Amino acid sequence: MDLQSAEQRVKELQNQLSQYGYEYYVLDNPSVPDAEYDRLMQELLKLEEEFPELKTPDSPSQRVGGAVLDMFEKVEHTIPMLSLGNAFNEQDLRDFDARIRKAVGENVSYVCELKIDGLAVSLRYEDGLFAQGSTRGDGTIGEDITANIRTIQSVPLRLKEPISIEVRGEAYMPKRSFEALNKARQERGEELFANPRNAAAGSLRQLDPKIAASRKLDTFLYNIGNPEVIDVAAHSEGLDYLDRLGFKTNKERRKCSTIEDVLKYIKEWTEKRPQLPYEIDGIVIKLDSLEQQAALGTTAKSPRWAIAYKFPAEEVVTTLLDIELSVGRTGVITPTAILEPVKVAGTTVQRASLHNEDLIREKDIKIGDKVVVKKAGDIIPEVVNVLADQRTGEEREFHMPTHCPECESELVRLEGEVALRCINPKCPAQIREGLIHFVSRDAMNIDGLGEKVISQLFAEQLISDVADIYKLTYEQLISLERMGAKSVSNLLEAIEASKANSLEKLVFGLGIRLVGAKAAKTLAQQFGSMDRLAAASKDDLTAINEIGDKMADSIVNYFEMEEAQELIAELKAAGVNMDYKGAKPVSAEESDSVFAGKTVVLTGKLEQLSRNEAKEKIEALGGNVAGSVSKKTHLVVAGADAGSKLTKAQELGIEIWDEEKLLEELNK
């Protein structure tokens, strides 16, 4: 066969196989037998091998390919992937409905969708071709799992329109795939996955795409990340558009015009839930109108126009065998129930937090009791109550200790607190937990330094404080169990890279009491350097809106400690950055910028800046960046493929800039 004939046949086969795959994996309505599909695939593979120049990224043959990865690259989400607020009962839903109607009026409708128990993913397409797949991560930074997403047959490699679009959805493992996987693992003597969600998450984080492909995952897409690129006025219209593009969406969705209709839908699927071929853990309710969604906006964590109803937690009875104590990084002593293993909501539970001594007294918990256990939000095990009528008389009272279980120091209860604390700064447990906190994602974010490795390093006395992390050598690490040459090199590179982090990461990582990630960023922005922050007085600190008396006292006390001063000196000597690297926000009154006091909306694709970069720069000059266009908008910056936001700005007569004009003003 000559090249021209081969090219024609390859295109025919690619189109045929793509259509057959769509019918099988998306529509669940195959039009040809499996044997015919396999025959055509073999023909395509043979032709692409013979004429490699005809192999294209969107070919059905390219579902699995490429080398095994060393690690996952980070991906910054241009539009954050927010989580949803939760509702646990009918009253929560009625309150949600009342808030919606109070904000936007009585003319509302909702879209109800099954809440798939999987892993949230984002898929990006350029000119209709699949370009990148990523995990949600912390909502702002995820991981690039493109190679693994390509292995999911229901994910189209080429859309039915040449559009550039970002879509969000859930990757999940169907029940039959989960059962087959665990059966195979059992036969090989491997540890079984606890539930389909964990199995799906583990599969998508495999460095070898062939392993991900063997797990037979699936997807449901439920949202368009950049809706301005298409002309729709409602969420339901967006879902219909995803269908037309070739995505798999969940067909059990329903539009509801009243909260009563929503409650009927929830009742129906609570009963039908066990019949589904995949796991769900609730129902998602979204306001349908995109204009009303924009009017309501979002909080820092979740949209105000959507809520997730969580199914009531499964409750089971087991025996409380013992109560164990742990010491946290701030010295708080936490009692934990050790339970006779029991299956709850798909996983085996052996431990449940009891929080503090007051809760144990309030629930009258004794060692040896029969207790009712559930998972709060289907995630965190907790003891609901004791079955006192089943007591035999052999149960034992539990008493909190007077001394720390780790270092034997006397415990104290600070004024106004229910928790007992160890206040010994040299307590090994607190040091170990502090080290784990320092390397965590929201702090210094050192890849490869998880809880197990930190505990191992601490036990081997290779680290005793966070400064020791920066003194670790190849020779020390290679001698550790389960640490190969590649792992050690990657870890040392990650430690070195963390030195360049902006100041707020370090401030949060130090674990100053009451200082969370948000407060750490505020402090870094306001003071600019570690030296200025360390020298700040209580008055300096409380002059900042977000900093109250208690937090200010905690910060001052921390920097007055000789140990803290020595630690910071060691970190400086190791080359850890001590300055804030982000843009410092200014108020509209302080700024003479054209953005001062203005509300700006960004739409379309910017070529030279990411959305987050543009947002930070505008806010640093006293502006406010909003997500939707309204009469209160002063300025719209329109990039390539700007859609409905640009149209609305034109209708309202709002000033419109292109990216070139934006950069010109930012550079001033």
Structure tokens at 460: 């081997």
Half-sphere exposure of 179 (CA within 13 A, CB side): 6
* 3 state SS of 643: coil
C-beta of residue 427 within 8 angstroms of C-beta of residue 325: no
- Phi and psi of 13, rounded to 5°? -65, -45
Segment holding 615, helix H or strand E = helix 611-620
Give the ranges where 479-610 is alpha helix by DSSP (H). Answer: 485-498, 503-509, 517-527, 530-534, 538-542, 549-560, 562-573
The C-alpha atoms of residue 528 and residue 535 are separated, in whole angstroms, by 12
The C-alpha atoms of residue 433 and residue 421 are separated, in whole angstroms, by 14
Task: Give, to the nearest 10 degrees, the angle between helix 34-50 and helix 3-21.
Answer: 150
115 is catalytic: yes
Query: Residue 406, Cα to own-chain centre: how many angstroms?
Result: 33
Instruction: Report the relative pairing of strands 315-327 and 333-344 from DSSP bridges.
Output: antiparallel
The C-alpha atoms of residue 647 and residue 629 are separated, in whole angstroms, by 10
DSSP string, 407-450: T-PBEE--TT--S-EE--TT-HHHHHHHHHHHTSTTTT--TT--
- Phi and psi of 46, rounded to 5°? -65, -45
b/e code 543-573 from CB counts within 10 Å (16+ = b) = ebeebeeebbeebeebbeeeebeeebebbee
The residue count of the chain comes to: 668
C-beta of residue 233 within 8 angstroms of C-beta of residue 290: yes
Please tell me which residue in 115, 248, 617, 648 is annotated as part of the active site: 115
Structure tokens at 393: 């008389």
C-beta of residue 182 within 8 angstroms of C-beta of residue 202: no
Residue 386 amino acid letter: V
Q: What is the DSSP letter of 52?
A: G
* Rg from Cα positions in the chain: 28
Q: What is the DSSP letter of 328?
A: -
- Nearest Cα residue to 594 out of 631, 565, 568, 623: 623
Half-sphere exposure of 297 (CA within 13 A, CB side): 9
Calculated CA dihedral for residues 100, 616, 71, 155, nearest 10 degrees: 40
Segment holding 111, helix H or strand E = strand 110-116
The C-alpha atoms of residue 167 and residue 164 are separated, in whole angstroms, by 10
The C-alpha atoms of residue 329 and residue 346 are separated, in whole angstroms, by 31
Catalytic residues: 115
